Amino acid sequence: MKLNWTSDELAAATGGTESGSFTCSGVAFDSREIGAGDLFFALKGEASDGHNYLDQVYANGAAGAVVDRAIDRPHILVADTAKALNDLAKASRARVDAKIIGVTGSAGKTGTKEALFAALDRSSRGYAHRSVKSYNNHVGVPLSLSRMPAETQFGVFEMGMNHAGELRELTALVRPDVAIVTTIAPAHIEFFNDETEIAKAKAEIFEGLSPEGTAIIPADNAHYQLLREAAEKYTQNIVSFGFSEHADVRAADHVAVSGGTMITAQLPSGGLCYTLSQPGKHWIANSLAVLAAVEAVGGDLAAAGLAMAELGGLAGRGARHQVSVDGGDVLLIDESYNANPASMAATLSDLANQPGGRRIAVLADMKELGTQSAHFHTGLAAHLASAKVDYAILVGEEMQNLVQSLKQGVEGPAKFDHCGSAQEALTLLQGQLQPDDIVLVKGSNSMGLSAIINAYAGGGD
C-alpha cells in the first residue's frame, strides 16, 4: 500500500488554501522524520515551533507543508496546524472501507497492537496499517490516522492517556469497530485518586464504538464489571478474554516449549492451538485479546496463530539480545521503554522462569505514581525475591525507597547497589557480568536505560 494525498484533498480536508498542485506520500510533524515526498505539519509546541524547521524539511525533500503563514514553497495555509492535523485524520478515517481497532490499557498496549497488526497484515497480504512506535497521544493518533492509505483493510491504533477525558477525544477520531482494554493497573496514578478512576478513564475508548461495534475486556481484572458496564452503554457485543472460566476467549491450557509457549485457546467459534514466541503470562493474555479482535473483524485465526509464533521482541519492550562477555553469552532482556507496578511484576515473574546462570535486574524509577510511589517501589522487593534475583542495580531517586527497605532486612536479592543514572548503572553492570547471566533492564523511558542496551546490543529506543 502507498499513501497518496493530493494538495486538493489536503485543502478540502483541512479547510486550508493550497499554494499550488502537489502530491505527498508520507506525513510527519517531526522534521527529523521527513523524507522525499512527505508532507510536514508545522506544529507549535511549548518549547518549539515547526515553522522554524521549514528550510530543513524542504531540503530533505518535503513535497509540501501545512503552515499557518504563507511561505514561498508548496504548502497548505490554515489558521491552526494542530486542528488541521485532526481534520486530516478525520478525512483519512472517513475515506477508508476498513475494520478499525483501537487498543488501550495500563500495560501491553504496544505489544498487543504489534501482534494484532502482524496477524491482520499476514491474512490481508499487506493491507493492514497501524500506528508506529508509541504514537498514542493527542498528536500521535491523528498522525497515525493521516498516514493510513485509502486501500487499507484493517487499521490498528494504540491509544494512551494519563488524564481523564483524553481517550474520549482520541476515540472520537479513531471511531473503532473494535475497542480493546488490555488491563487496568496503577500506571499514571499520580493523576488519579485510585485505580477505579483509571478504569473509568480507559473505558472512554468505548464511546467511539457504534452499536454494532465490539468491546474486548480483561476477564481476570478487578475492574472487569466496571469495564463491562461502561461498554454496555455503547454496544451489546462484549467479549472477555483471560484465564477465568467465564472468559469468552480463554486459555484452556498453556505450556512452555522451546521458542515460546504452546497455548490452547477456547473461542466462541471453537478451539485453536498456537505457539506464542513471547514469554510470560501477561503475553498469553495479550495474545487472547488479539484472537478476540481478529475474530471480531472477521480475520483469519489460523494466520493470527502463525503470526504470533513468528513475532519478534520489540525494542524497549521485551527484545532479547545474546551478547558476548568473556567468551560466553549473556541474555539481555530489553524492557527499557516503560515501567509501572504491573509491568514490573510481570517481567520479573518471567525472569524467574528463564533458564541459565545468575539473574540480574537493572531497575529504574517508575514515574507518575504520585503519593503512592514509595509504596509501589518498596513493593518490588517481593517480586525480586520471587524471581530469585541474585543481583539488583537500582537506579533513581524513587528507588531509594526500595533500597531502604532492603537494607532493613526485607527479603530480596542477596546483593544490590543503588545509583543515580543509567551511565552509573552501566558501569556497575560492566564490573559484574559473566557468561550465562540473564539481565533484565527495565524502567520508565525518561530514566534512559536504553543507554545500557545500546552499549551492549546497539538497540533500544
**In whole angstroms, what is the distance from residue 363 CA to residue 400 CA?**
12
Asked whether residue 278 carries a pLDDT value surpassing 90, the answer given is: no
The greatest distance separating any two alpha carbons of the chain, rounded to the nearest whole angstrom, comes to: 72
**Among residues of the chain, what percentage have pLDDT more than 90?**
85
**In whole angstroms, what is the distance from residue 87 CA to residue 10 CA?**
9
**Span 27-76, pLDDT tens digits:** 999 999 999 999 999 999 888 899 999 999 999 999 999 999 999 999 99
Torsion of CA 8, 175, 152, 84, to 10 degrees: 30
**Span 349-402, pLDDT tens digits:** 989 988 889 999 999 999 989 999 999 999 999 999 999 999 999 999 999 999
CA angle 184/185/187 to nearest 5° reads 120
Confidence category of residue 188, pLDDT binned at 50, 70, 90: confident
Cell numbers representing residue 36 in the block: 522525499
Q: Give 273's strand partners.
A: 264
Total-model pTM = 0.85
Domains annotated on the chain, with CATH: 5-80 (3.40.1390.10), 96-309 (3.40.1190.10), 319-457 (3.90.190.20)
**Span 227-273, pLDDT tens digits:** 999 999 999 999 999 999 999 999 999 998 876 899 999 999 999 99
- Amino acid 461: pLDDT: 40
Torsion of CA 448, 449, 455, 456, to 10 degrees: -160
**Span 325-353, pLDDT tens digits:** 888 999 999 999 889 998 899 899 989 98
Give the mean pLDDT of 151-157.
98
Asked whether residue 460 carries a pLDDT value surpassing 70, the answer given is: no
